[in-house]
Amino acid sequence: MKKLTPSDNPLVVSTNDDLFVDTTTISQLFERPHKNVLRSLANLVEAGAISRLTIEPRDYIDSRGKTQPCYRLSERDALLLMPFIGGNRSIEGQAKLVDAFMEQQKELLRLARHKADPLRLLEHQDKCAASRLMCEALQQARAAAGKSTEAHHYRTEGLLCNWLLTGSFSPVDDNELSTIELRKLKKIRRQNTTLIIGGYTYPQRKGLLRQTFPPERAID
């Protein structure tokens, strides 16, 4: 299953569709002491080119095991800062960082298009409806047996369905699922609901569902 979330780029991080880079990353890319990067940043802030409101103070552990300050910069602020850093790998560092930002922008655009697919939106709605019905059936079945239903009971059913889809008993981000995968997950949950209503135990349902929906290979 191909993940459609922005790639795990070691240089650039994505938060709420915005891109950022840490000053420690810039220091490593440019082979420049971190204190020099911070000095260049301070000069641009003092000159008014970069606002104090747009840089996020953070901490990192240095090579001596001590906590040191660093900053997380927006794409705009990082691009402004780069020409003022210098260093042995200034040109190479700028090229790598610009490429990383461009790569992440493409991933964000691809993800936005993926989410906006009308057919996929319908399948996602149907999948959510199937999930609600499954939870309601579970609660009613347990209530009929004189048992309460806790959060972990719902979670167990969800993980069972995920296992049949991905091969792993772990949470799945809907944003990572294709239209076909959403449709399959919907069918799995509907079938599980039917078995719950039929009075089958968890081990019985697991075996029957496995026959109908052989678990896929685990996501890499």
Q: Do 106 and 138 share a structural domain? A: no
Strand partners, 73: 21
Q: Confidence class of residue 6 from pLDDT cuts 50, 70 and 90?
A: very low
Specify the pLDDT at position 58.
93
Full 3-state SS string of 50-113: CCHHHCEEEEEECCCCCEEEEEEEEHHHHHHHHHHCCCCCHHHHHHHHHHHHHHHHHHHHHHHH
pLDDT one-digit tens code per residue, 129-139? 999 999 999 99
Model confidence at 220: pLDDT above 80 = no
Q: Do 130 and 36 share a structural domain? A: no
Specify the pLDDT at position 80.
93
Report d(CA 82, CA 61) in Å as an integer. 23
Q: Do 161 and 80 share a structural domain? A: no
Q: Confidence class of residue 218 from pLDDT cuts 50, 70 and 90?
A: very low
In order of 189, 190, 215, the CA distances from 85 in angstroms are 55, 58, 52
Specify the pLDDT at position 177.
87
Q: Do 200 and 129 share a structural domain? A: yes
Q: Do 202 and 135 share a structural domain? A: yes
Q: Which residues of 159-182 are buried (b: 16+ CB within 10 A; e: fewer)?
A: bbbbbbbbeeeeebeeebbeeebb
Domain final position from 115, 131, 154: 115
Q: Which long-range contacts (CB under 8 A, 24 or more apart) does 165-173 make?
A: 165/213, 165/215, 165/216, 166/1, 166/215, 166/216, 166/218, 166/219, 167/215, 167/216, 167/217, 167/218, 167/219, 168/218, 168/219, 173/5
Report d(CA 72, CA 88) in Å as an integer. 23
Q: Do 135 and 83 share a structural domain? A: no
Mean pLDDT of 201-205: 95
Residue 218 included in any domain? no
Residue 30 included in any domain? yes
Residues 140/190, Cβ–Cβ less than 8 Å: no
Q: Do 85 and 125 share a structural domain? A: no
Specify the pLDDT at position 103.
86
Q: Do 147 and 87 share a structural domain? A: no
Domain final position from 115, 145, 168: 115
Domain final position from 85, 100, 115: 115
Of 38-47, 70-79, 86-95, 180-189, least confident by mean pLDDT is 86-95
The domain containing residue 54 runs over which residues?
Answer: 13-115
Residue 219 included in any domain? no
Q: Do 122 and 103 share a structural domain? A: no
Specify the pLDDT at position 115.
65
Report d(CA 150, CA 140) in Å as an integer. 12
Q: Do 24 and 53 share a structural domain? A: yes
Please tell me the total count of domains within the chain: 2
Residue 151 included in any domain? yes
Q: Confidence class of residue 17 from pLDDT cuts 50, 70 and 90?
A: confident
Q: Do 111 and 195 share a structural domain? A: no
Residue 7 included in any domain? no
pLDDT one-digit tens code per residue, 68-104? 999 999 999 999 999 998 877 888 888 989 888 888 8
Q: Return the structure tokens found at 127.
A: 């999948």
Give 112 or 144, the one with higher predicted confidence: 144
Q: Do 200 and 145 share a structural domain? A: yes
